[in-house]
Amino acid sequence: MSAAIGIGTSNLSIEAYISKLQDLAVHTVVDVRAQPFSRFRPHFNRERFGLALKSAGIRYIWMGDKLGNPKDEKGERSLRGFEAFMQTPTYHDGLLELRSLIEKTPGTVALTCAEAKEEECHRQFILQDLHSPEM
């Protein structure tokens, strides 16, 4: 399996984000945001983000429909809620699709979401599951 890492968009400029990807030899970004847009950082809105990455020679794939952290009944996102979502067929199918993508993709694949700190983001669980022989 190729390498998979996590990188948050945080408050970075698109130039700083792309530079970070290039430093890490990332060839593909998998966006795991359930809602791939930002009012405050429009350069990370799905379409603009994908175009900027493509211009830099980096492939962009959105998988937030299968691996994004869904809102709970209160309209909030939480790591606890994501842990429950991880038990669903949607998550399981998304993880299998992601594994297949990583196996077929040369170089490093970066999972991205908005949070800078991986321990505060649901992508930590996805990365753990990718390396788990049980999935």
27 membership: H or E segment, kind and range: strand 26-31
Q: What's this model's pTM, rounded to 2 decimal places? A: 0.92
Block mean pLDDT (10 aa), the chain, length 135: 87 96 96 91 95 98 95 84 94 96 93 92 94 70
Residue 135 has a pLDDT of 54
Residue 20 has a pLDDT of 96
Residue 74 has a pLDDT of 82
Which domains are assigned to the chain?
4-130 (3.90.190)
